[in-house]
């Protein structure tokens, strides 16, 4: 055997191996293609089932939507009633706010002098009550008081009460004891 024969033999073996490899690849490709063929054959049946299910789904959705519309129609009067109640409540509360604002403005515009006179009178009444209670306690604690001393003490107390009333009026006039409303 010569080198040419040996080269031809090697080329023949290479072609044989290549043919075996290609046969296996082609055999696998034939299997894949037969699987695709089976899938393609089953596809029209599956599409028919899918379209049938889709039709059923659309029909069910339509029925559900119709049922929902009927129920909403029955609830519409309820929503209208709630809306009317809300409007009435809003109207009532706005009129109440107007009344409160009006009363507040009237109170703010009250005559300051009358308020001061009332406060001065209250201070005078409080001072008189304090003097009366204090004098009653002194009388209870003392055994006997001479009339002259009692008269002088009463005159002094009356003077003190008048002085306190005057101080209360002055304090009320300058607003010393009033809260700052503004």
Name the residue ranges covered by the structural domains of the chain.
1-109, 111-182
- Rounded to the nearest integer, the mean pLDDT of the chain is 83
* pLDDT at residue 9 is higher than 50: yes
Residues of the chain with pLDDT > 90: what percent?
27
Per-residue pLDDT tens for 118-136? Answer: 677 777 788 888 888 888 8
pTM above 0.85, yes or no: no
What does the pLDDT average to over 19-45? Answer: 93
Contact (Cβ atoms closer than 8 angstroms) between residue 165 and residue 127:
yes
Please provide the DSSP assignment of 98-130 as one string. HHHHHHHHHHHTS-HHHHHHHHHHHHHHHHHHH
pLDDT, residue 135, reads: 85
Contact (Cβ atoms closer than 8 angstroms) between residue 139 and residue 145:
yes
* pLDDT at residue 182 is higher than 70: no
Would you tell me how many other CB atoms lie within 10 Å of the CB of residue 59?
Answer: 10
What does the pLDDT average to over 99-115? Answer: 71
* pLDDT at residue 137 is higher than 50: yes
* pLDDT at residue 166 is higher than 60: yes
């Amino acid at each position: 055997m010569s080198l040419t024969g040996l080269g031809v033999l090697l080329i023949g073996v290479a072609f044989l191996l290549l043919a075996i490899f290609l046969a296996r690849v082609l055999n696998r490709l034939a299997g894949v293609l037969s699987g695709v063929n089976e899938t393609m054959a089953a596809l029209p049946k599956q599409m028919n089932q899918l379209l049938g299910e889709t039709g059923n789904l659309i029909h069910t959705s339509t029925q559900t939507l119709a049922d929902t519309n009927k129920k909403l129609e029955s609830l519409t009067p309820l929503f209208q009633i709630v809306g009317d109640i809300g409007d009435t409540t809003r109207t009532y509360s706005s009129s109440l706010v107007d009344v409160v604002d009006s009363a507040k403005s009237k109170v703010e515009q009250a005559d300051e002098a009358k308020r001061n006179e009332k406060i001065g009178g209250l201070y005078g009444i409080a001072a008189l009550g304090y003097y009366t209670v204090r004098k009653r306690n002194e009388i209870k604690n003392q055994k006997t008081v001479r009339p002259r001393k009692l008269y002088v003490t009463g005159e002094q107390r009356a003077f003190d009460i008048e002085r306190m009333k005057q101080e209360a009026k002055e304090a009320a006039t300058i607003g010393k004891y009033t809260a700052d409303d503004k």
